[in-house]
Structure 1
Amino acid sequence: MSVDMPDPHTVQIAPLLLDWYDRNARILPWRSPPGTPAPDPYRVWLSEIMLQQTTVAAVKSYFEAFTTRWPDVAALAAAYDADVMSAWAGLGYYARARNLLACARTVVSQHGGNFPDDEAGLLKLPGVGRYTAAAVAAIAFGRRATVMDANVERVVARLFAVTEPLPEAKNRLYALTDTITPDARAGDFAQAMMDLGATICTPKAPKCLICPLSALCAAQAAGNAEALPAKAPKKAKPVRRGTIFWIERDGHVWLVRRPDKGLLGGMRAFPTGPWTSEAPGLAAAPLAAAGWSELPGHVRHVFTHFALELSIVGTRIENSCVDQGAGEWWRIDAIGTAGLPTVFAKAAHRVLEEGEWLTG
């Protein structure tokens, strides 16, 4: 089978897959049942932004909380940045939350609260790339669009036995996905491909015996489905190191707001020094003369491009030695409500787990 000129029998893919989807579609809070009118574009867009590099299981509760608090794009556009960033805490990739607000405000201010209904218009919105534009166009507006996420990549790589490794194979896989995308029910087809990849054509131990496309799958015929898609070896991530400063007073801990631009921008956090290849110690400590206690061990968190190891030092003060205009005191017993990013939530958990450790 040529991967550039698909065999004519591949025209069977869409009908077979849609028939399977009609009977097996996952029930998700942002979806309409198969074959029914498209759901609210706001809910489709919101779910697609949340689902970027995040699992369905992790997104469900966030989606329900967001749509309860901000039920439409106008409500989200009017929200305070800090409230949205706090509500996003724990979902990761925080630039998505900043883009979410920018996009909502653009839709309201420039489009009268209505999302553009085609890929070209959607691509002009903040934070909307090729995948998201195609997904919203197809699912929300019924447009024929080529929708390819990681699940679809895997299904197509196996259907056509594409052995070229990712990411080099992405353009080829996109072209092949386009050849099997139908003119009608493109949104259902896209969601069916995602469901197939998530539940049947899984990365490990794919359930080929019950796959509706098994008879059409070149990798299944060759016996190498689980080996595809091939991936180039991952490069080791560099490690950065830093120090968290836990400043405690009268049952409260000092929190700051990180700069709007940059990693974890706009989020509440503990004060930190620089993040560098070598441990920075007490560099940039907010209280230069404090008597710091060090918590044994460190907190580790992996970001997209690097791993971060943070030491924790703390002090207890009697009076406010910190400029309160640059942050806020937060009750320690309510630290879980501060909306801290995961790495700082890990640090808080580590401190609370330790018990009494401060000497000040």
Structure 2
Amino acid sequence: MTAFATSLLAWFDRHGRHDLPWQHPRDAYRVWLSEIMLQQTQVSTVIPYFQRFLARLPTLGDLAAADEDVVLALWSGLGYYRRARFLHRAAQLCAERHDGELPRDFDALAALPGIGRSTAGAILAQAYQLRFPILDGNVKRVLTRYHGIVGHPGEREVEKQLWLRADEHTPAKRTADYTQAIMDLGATVCVRTRPLCDTCPMRKTCVAHRDHLTAQLPTPKPAKAIPTRSTIMLVLRDATQRVLLQRRGAHGVWAGLWSLPEADDTDGAWREAQARARIDDALALTPFVHVFSHYRLQIQPLLFEGAAPRQAIADNDNQRWCAESELPSLGLPAPVRSLLLALPQSSEEPL
């Protein structure tokens, strides 16, 4: 066991996180679910989603048998919905090919949708106590600073170095604890800004601390301007307060989720609305911005109050008139859910 692993495990025994819900019990399904939820999401945010998800779908078999709408509804608000669809599909493949269990073989596990090298390693290490390294965002930051590795961690050569270091430090014993420990160190001490170096067990041998480079490492990704796009969301609400929803296509942002009809401009919005219902005035609600990883979306909601559904537009797998009480059971993008739950009871100024 390297000195790095020895020091880290000693720190973990005293200061690590031992009461996370996926640690009790630390079985493969719970570890897998937590790993997927924790991708690009903080622990404090994930915990209530994790608990709610398990309450509804407590086993891998339950997940495999669930309807996609149920899975997406439980995921709604976590974002990056492709993770949820991959999770669902991977569970179905486990039911079909692996006797309803996550495989212990690394190649078979990493071949499942949404499970890459690091996630597979985390599952095998934490659930099965097998010696596999991990390299999530927290681990990259710890190892980059500790070894003074310059270059953006997303670059192939830099990532190759990090994998070598990750493998070097992963011990054959207490692998599950070590895996949790290095993630905990990155999440609570070796944080992105203002790391708590004075409390770090690695400070005496850390290159970044020694050379005063903690603010420079990891090397940031080259800046790239984020474009802004705009859309008009149509809120068609009938006399019984139902709202028209439509399912988005299989590709692109919010793929497969229920959302609102959209248009590029006001004329298009009226045409889209009139094709679906008989309408009178449109009410411009407060515009807002939703930020994705690769662009900003400027959203202008238009409320068509008292819309009368056209008989030719019947509820189907891709379109439905939905009461507010039904919203919790549907997979909705978080900004759309917030918009619908905050709809005014009375009209604003008509266009």
TM-score (norm 2): 0.90
Does residue 258 of structure 2 align to residue 268 of structure 1? yes
Number of the residue aligned with 1:170: 159
Structure 1 residue aligned with 2:348: 357
For 2:77, what is the secondary structure of its paired residue? coil
Partner of 2:186 in structure 1? Answer: 197
Counterparts of 2:221 and 2:260 in 1: how far apart (Å)? 37
Is residue 230–residue 298 contact of structure 2 (8 Å, CA) maintained in 1? yes
Greater displacement, 341-350 / 326-335 = 326-335
Give the secondary-structure state (helix, strand or coil) at the position aligned to 2:21. coil
- What percentage of aligned pairs have identical amino acids? 34
Instruction: Return the offset for 1:263.
Output: 2.1
CA deviations on 1:270-320 (whole Å, 9 max, x unpaired) are 11135xxxx575256142474442425422111122211121112123532
Contact 2:315 2:321 in 1 (8 A): no
Q: 1:5-45: per-residue Cα shift (whole Å, max 9, x none)? A: xxxxx92110110111122221210015xxxxx82101011
Q: By how many angstroms is 1:265 displaced?
A: 1.9
Aligned residues: 341
Query: Counterpart amino acid of 1:254?
Result: L
- Residue 238 (str. 1) matches residue 238 (str. 2): no
How far residue 102 of structure 1 moved from its aligned partner, in angstroms, is 0.5
Alignment pair present for 1:282 and 2:272:
no
SS of residue paired to 1:212: coil
**Residue by residue, what CA displacement relative to the aligned partner does 1:130-179 show, whole Å, maximum 9, x if unpaired?**
12111111111111112011111111111111122332222222222222
Cα deviation per residue 1:67-90 (whole Å; 9 max; x = unaligned)? 111111001111111111111111
Cα–Cα, structure 1 residues 357 and 125, in superposed 2: closer, same or farther, change >3 Å? same
The answer to whether structure 1 residue 179 and structure 2 residue 179 are counterparts is no
Q: Which residue of 2 aligns with 1:331?
A: 323
- Partner of residue 15, structure 1: 6
Indicate whether 1:258 and 2:245 are aligned: no
Q: How many angstroms does 1:349 deviate by?
A: 4.9
Paired residues for 1:113-132 under 5 Å? 113-132=100-119
The answer to whether 1:30 aligns with 2:22 is yes
Give the deviation of 1:55 after TM superposition: 1.1
Is 1:305 matched up with 2:294? yes
CA distance in 1, matches of 2:323, 2:285: 23
CA RMSD of aligned residues (A): 2.3
TM-score by length of 1: 0.87
Give the conservation status (yes or no) of the 8 Å contact 2:70–2:330.
Answer: no
Give the counterpart letter for 1:196 in structure 2: L
Match of 1:211 in 2: 200
In the TM superposition, residue 269 of structure 1 has moved relative to its aligned partner by: 1.2
Flag structure 1 segments of 5+ consecutive residues without an equivalent.
1-9, 33-37
Comparing 191-200 and 260-269, the one that deviates more: 260-269
CA distance in 1 between partners of 2:346 and 2:134 (Å): 50
Matched residues in 1 for 2:103 and 2:328: separation? 38
State the 1:227 CA deviation: 2.2
